[in-house]
Amino acid sequence: MKKNKMISLSLVTALAAGSLAGCSGGESGTATVGDKTAENKKTAFSISYPTTVNTGYHARVPDLNKDKWVIKLEELTNTDLDVKVIEEAKMSVMFASGDVPDVFGNLGTPTNKVMSGSVEAGVFLPLDDLLKQYAPNLMKKVPKAAWDAVSYQGKIYGIPEYLDNPSRRATFIRSDLLAKTGLKAPTTVDEFLTVLREFKKLGVENPYQMRENFKYADVILGAFDVLPYRDQFEVVNGEVVPKFFDVENMQKALQVYKTMYDEGLIPKDFATITSTDYTKNINGGKAGIWSSNATGLVGFRTSNKQVVPEAKVDIIASPKGPEGKGGYFYYTPVIRSFYINSKVPQEKAIGIMKFFDWMATEEAEKFFTFGIEGDTYTVENGAIKYKFPATKEETEEEGFRSGTLWGSQNATYNKARLSLDENGRDTIKAFDEVLAKEGLGGIGFYPDLTSAAKYPDLAAPSQDVGPKLIIDHMVKMIYGKEPISDWPKVIEEYKSKGGNEIIKEATERYNKKQGVMVLTK
C-alpha cells in the first residue's frame, strides 16, 4: 500500500454559476467593448491563435481578416483585428525573428517550451493591474487554479482558456452489449475483467480497446494510481517521486494488463496500434469498452449506430482499485493562454483587456456558440433553433468560431450547445455526475524540470504519455518478455540513468515552491 501519500489543498475555486452578463466598464470618457455608441476609435491589434496542425476551416480561408466570423467579432467588440492562426511548431521561429503580435496565443502555460523563455525575458506584460481594473467578468469567472497556471513569479501573464473540472477523460461502454451479458456496469477491476470476458464470449473483437504508449488506454493504471505521466509525481518519505515508484501497485496493474493480453481481452498488437486505428476500431463497432475524452460521447454514439443500428454508447464510472481510486489524470487547468506584447501602448492594452473580458459575457457565449441570427440560428417563441453542422466543412467552421476565436472560455464543455439535445445533455450529466467524482491528482512542474531535459528517455514527453524507458519495460512485461517481478529493477535503472537527479530537483523545487503545480480539485 502507498505510504505518506501526497495531501494537498484544492487549488480550484468554485466557478460562478451561469453566465455573467454585461461588459466591462472603462474609465470616464473611454469606450466599453461592444458599446456601439462609443465615440472612441476601434481598438486595432494583431492576434495569433495557436494550433497544433494547419488544417481545418482557417486553412481554407484566403484572408481570415475578411472572414465573416472575424468581421462579426470585430463588430461586437469594437475592435479592428489582424488575425493569424499559427502552428505550434512554428512559434519558436516567430520568437527568434522578434515578430511577435500584440496578442500571442499559446497552447499551455507561460513557461512551456513553446514560449522559449519569452515571459522570463520580459517580452510580455504582467496583467494583474489591467485585469483588476478592466476585466471584472474574467476575474470572477476564471478559477484560481487557472490564474495560478498562467502566473510567473507571482504575477499573472496570461489570459486563460480554462477548465473548471480537471477530470475530462472517461470510460465508455457499449451498453447494448452489457445488457446482453446480464451484468451491471463494472465498479471494480475484478468486475471490469468479468465484463470483458463476457464481451469476448459475445464475439466482440476488442473487449477493451488498447493503443500504443497506453494513451487513452490507461484505465487500469488509473485504478492503481500509478499513471507514469508528467504531472503524476507524489511525495513519498519526504521525496517527490514519479507514481510508478509504487512497486506493489505498479506490479498489480501490470498483472491485470497481462491477464487481459493473455486472455485476448485487448488486441495482441496493442503496442503498435496508432491513434488512427484506435479511432477506426471504436467507430467501426469493434470495441466493447474504451477510454477517451467525455466530449466524444456524441460522436461515438453517432459512429457506432451507423455500423450497428442497435448500438448504445454510454459513459460509466471508471473501475476502482484497492485504494478506492479510479479514473484518469487531472488535466492542467489551462488549455490555451493569451499574452500581451510588452511593447503595446497602455491605451491599446486596455482595449485588448476589454476584448477578452467581453468573452465572459452572455452576448459572447451566444455568438461563439450559435453564430449569427438568421444565418446559423433562428429564434422561435424565445427559443434558439440552431442549425447543427451537417458536413465536415461545416463542423470545422463551427470549431473555428466556437473554439479558435473564443479565446477565453470554460473549455470543459459548452453547456449552451450541449443542452440542445439528449446526447449533449447526457454529456453534461457524465461530467457533473461521473467525472466530477473520479480522477487522479498529482504534482507537476512549470517550467519543466531542467534535469528531465538532460535525460529524454526518463522524461514524460506530454501530460498523457510516459517516459520511453518506463513504457518500454511495461510493454515487455505485458508481452511476457520480462517478469513483472523485476519492476524494482526498472526503478533502479531509472535512478541510475539520471532519475536520481530528477528526483532531487523535483524535491527541491517542491519544497521551495518554485514553479510547482499541485493538480487536484
**How far apart are the C-alpha atoms of 29 and 479, rounded to whole Å?**
71
For residues 27 and 240, the model is more confident at: 240
**pLDDT surpasses 80 at 160:** yes
227-240 pLDDT, tens per residue?
Answer: 999 999 999 999 99
In this prediction the pTM is 0.83
CA distances (Å), origin 456, targets 322, 460, 469, 502: 32, 8, 9, 11
Share above pLDDT 90 across residues of the chain, in percent, rounded to a whole number = 81
pLDDT band at residue 1 using 50, 70 and 90 as cut-offs: very low
Q: Which amino acid is at 130?
A: L
Return the sign of the alpha-carbon dihedral for residues 274, 280, 283, 286. Answer: negative
Higher pLDDT residue, 114 or 200? Answer: 200
pLDDT at 37 over 70: no
Residue 35 has pLDDT above 60, yes or no: no
Residue 98 in grid coordinates: 522578434
pLDDT at 28: 32
Q: DSSP secondary structure string, 438-464?
A: --B-EEEESSPPHHHHH-GGGS-SBTT
> Which residue matches cell numbers 519492476?
487
Q: Does domain 165-330+413-521 have CATH number 1.10.3720.10?
A: no
Please, which residues have CB within 8 angstroms of residue 302's CB and are 6 or more apart in sequence? none
Q: 10 pLDDT exceeds 90?
A: no
For the chain, the average pLDDT equals 90
Q: Where are the domain boundaries for CATH 3.40.190.10 in the chain?
A: 43-162+333-407, 165-330+413-521
**Digit-coded pLDDT (tens) for 367-407:** 999 999 999 999 999 999 999 998 889 989 999 999 999 99
Q: Which CATH superfamily is domain 43-162+333-407 in?
A: Periplasmic binding protein-like II (3.40.190.10)
pLDDT tens-digit profile of 263-317?
999 999 999 999 999 999 999 999 999 999 999 998 999 999 999 999 999 999 9
User: What pLDDT is recorded for position 81?
Assistant: 98
pLDDT band at 55 (very low <50, low <70, confident <90, very high): confident
Using alpha carbons, select from 242, 214, 114 the residue that is nearest to residue 498: 242
Find, among 366, 349, 354, the residue nearest to 78 by Cα.
354
Residue 383: is it exposed, middle or buried by C-beta count within 10 angstroms (0-12/13-18/19+)?
exposed
Which pLDDT score, from 0 to 100, does residue 98 have?
85
Q: What is the pLDDT of residue 40?
A: 65
